[in-house]
Homo-oligomer: A and B are copies of this chain.
Amino acid sequence: MRKIAFLGPTATFSDLAVRHAFPEEERIPYSTIPACMDAVIKKEVDLAVVPIENTLEGTVNLTIDYLFHEADLYVVGEATAPIQQHLLVHKRYAQEWEETEKIMSHSHAIAQCHKFLHTYFADKPHEKMTSTAAAAQYIYDHPEQRLAAIANSLSAKEYDLAIAKENIHDHSFNHTRFFVLSREKEALALPLPLKEPKDKTTIFVTLPSDQAGTLHQVLSAFSWRRINLTKIESRPLKTGLGHYFFIIDISQAIDDVLIPGAFAEMEALGCTVKVLGSYRSYSIEYNK
């Protein structure tokens, strides 16, 4: 049985993703994203599942930066999961949930439920917690207080709370992408029931000094080969303002001719190319 590191505590969205992607494996919570990656490097675990991008918040910079600057790991799979937020209260207040006096959650979850909070709890304070699951746990531990958490259904189950209102998030299309990270380069077949796998390749590219002109040439190397890119994003190299590296997602697996040809051209232009992984991307769908 493999060990899988995830961003804890129990019942976070990362935990939920791991339960679907690796239902048979041992899940081990870590308190930060770098700690999840370090656990793989130190061989405490076999794999780590970490968030890489969210529809509303964008790229998780901490994940990208740690992968670029610190952790020598490979992406061996990807899972995209819908983010469904519910209002959870202690079971003793299940009927009188509208009398909640304070809302607790991760700051992103609070932001994602702005309309609901404005409608039902416009004058009530919010308290930011380190995760949605930590908010749920706090409410379980403080039954004497009239509190509500914004968290997923797994948190309700794990911390024995009532779901007072389902699906209170503003946007139904909100998803988070998770990378599965390994010390080994080989792509991993994730077990079902993850649907519709697609091939993807993710690379880091560092440009030589004339950044803007070279970026155009880099994109040309892909474009004339009709290699489709699904994402291109810059992050600071941390060496000075205006110095960036780029994360590029290619919507196909590495082949024998076209992608290696593009990489060779980019290197001839003075770029550094690092293949983070060529892997399959899966969509998680939750059952009710």
A interface list, Cβ under 8 A from B: 53-58, 61, 80, 171, 173, 175, 177, 211-213, 215-216, 219-220, 222-223, 228-236, 238-242, 244
Q: Which chain B residue lies CB-closest to A58?
A: B236
A235: B residues at CB distance < 8 A? 58
Q: Which chain B residue lies CB-closest to A238?
A: B56
Q: Is the CB of B230 within 8 A of A212?
A: yes
**In the complex, which of the residues B177, B213, B223, B244 contacts A228, with contact meaning CB atoms closer than 8 Å?**
B213
Give A222 to B213 CA distance when docked, in angstroms: 9
- Given A177-B241, A219-B215, A241-B175, the answer on whether A234 and B231 have CB atoms closer than 8 Å is yes
**How many monomers of this chain does the complex have?**
2
Q: How far is the CB of A211 from chain B (nearest CB, A)?
A: 8
**In the complex, which of the residues B61, B171, B223 contacts A58, with contact meaning CB atoms closer than 8 Å?**
B61
A220: B residues at CB distance < 8 A? 216
A228: B residues at CB distance < 8 A? 212-213
Q: How far is the CB of A225 from chain B (nearest CB, A)?
A: 11
A222: B residues at CB distance < 8 A? 212, 216
Q: Which chain B residue lies CB-closest to A228?
A: B212
Q: Is the CB of B61 within 8 A of A240?
A: no
**In the complex, which of the residues B61, B213, B233, B242 contacts A234, with contact meaning CB atoms closer than 8 Å?**
B233
